[in-house]
Amino acid sequence: MIVDDEAAIADLVTIYLKNEGYQVFTCYNAGEALSCVERESISLAILDVMLPDMDGFTLCQRIRENHLFPIIMLTARGEDMDKITGLTLGADDYITKPFNPLELTARVRTQLRRYIRYNTAVPGQEQTEKDIRGLHMDRDAHHCSINGQEIVLTPIEFNILWYLCEHQGSVVSSEELFEAVWGEKYLDNNNTVMAHIARIREKLKEPARRPKYVKTVWGVGYTIE
């Protein structure tokens, strides 16, 4: 689903994605998008930040109340706070305008590949699980809980937390986390990991000063002890 009130952009992206074989639902405002999400089986959404009836951040929040499919935000060039806000509210990726439609198509493929990989259990395959002081993660079932209470994570959030659990006791840098989870080269000014860590802590109900699970080692990275 592509949501953008600029018809020229929305229609161009629709053409490129259809040429890749995707079924595309094109919406020009948030109201149409919310109706589409409830009516159709959506696997990924591309949301513009500036919409006429509701900003893209609020739309992202509304979608995240009931859906976990990947969300890519379209932001204005150089608006770092837009990127951080979108990621904190549950978006999985962002791309700045103006953008190359081929790059956006590649990001769609990447996000869908991760989503399918981490949300499809393989019958007959032994499940891979982690248990750390009440934090339980089941990678094959894409399930996370604390003391039996389910924690709903997006695919990106789940992958970050899983990677930290896999490296329990070690400090993982932002660069390593980004390149392992996103599969792209890390840039020094990239705040993506920080925004996602903040969102994960919020969902785990971690106290800011003394988190039980995901801890910051200042100047080095993140760890689960």
Enumerate the H helices of 65-184 as residue ranges.
80-88, 101-118, 155-166, 174-181
Q: Residue 80 has what pLDDT?
A: 66
Q: Which two tokens stand for residue 177?
A: 């986390």
Q: Residue 127 has what pLDDT?
A: 45
Q: In angstroms, what CA-CA distances link 11 with 25, 27, 29, 123?
A: 10, 10, 14, 39
Q: Residue 188 has what pLDDT?
A: 66
Q: Residue 6 has what pLDDT?
A: 92
Q: Residue 185 has what pLDDT?
A: 79
Q: Residue 34 has what pLDDT?
A: 96
Pairing status of strand 221-224 against strand 26-27 = unpaired
Q: Residue 33 has what pLDDT?
A: 96
Q: Residue 72 has what pLDDT?
A: 93
Q: Residue 79 has what pLDDT?
A: 62
Q: Please tell me the chain's helix, strand, coil percentages from 3-state DSSP, rounded to the nearest 5.
A: 40, 20, 40
Please identify every stretch of the chain with a pLDDT value under 70, giving residue numbers as ranges.
Answer: 77-80, 82-83, 117-127, 188-190
Strand partners, 169: none
Q: Residue 117 has what pLDDT?
A: 63
Residue pLDDT, tens place only, 142-176:
889 988 889 999 888 999 999 999 888 889 998 89
Supply the DSSP string of 160-171, one letter for each residue.
HHHHHHHTTTS-
Q: Residue 83 has what pLDDT?
A: 66
Name the DSSP class of 21.
T
Q: Residue 126 has what pLDDT?
A: 45
Q: How many CA atoms lie within 13 A of 156 on its CB side?
A: 28
What is the identity of the amino acid at 97? K
Q: In angstroms, what CA-CA distances link 7 with 3, 46, 196?
A: 10, 14, 31
Q: Closest Cα to residue 86, out of 52, 121, 63, 58?
A: 58
pTM given for the model:
0.61
Q: Residue 17 has what pLDDT?
A: 94
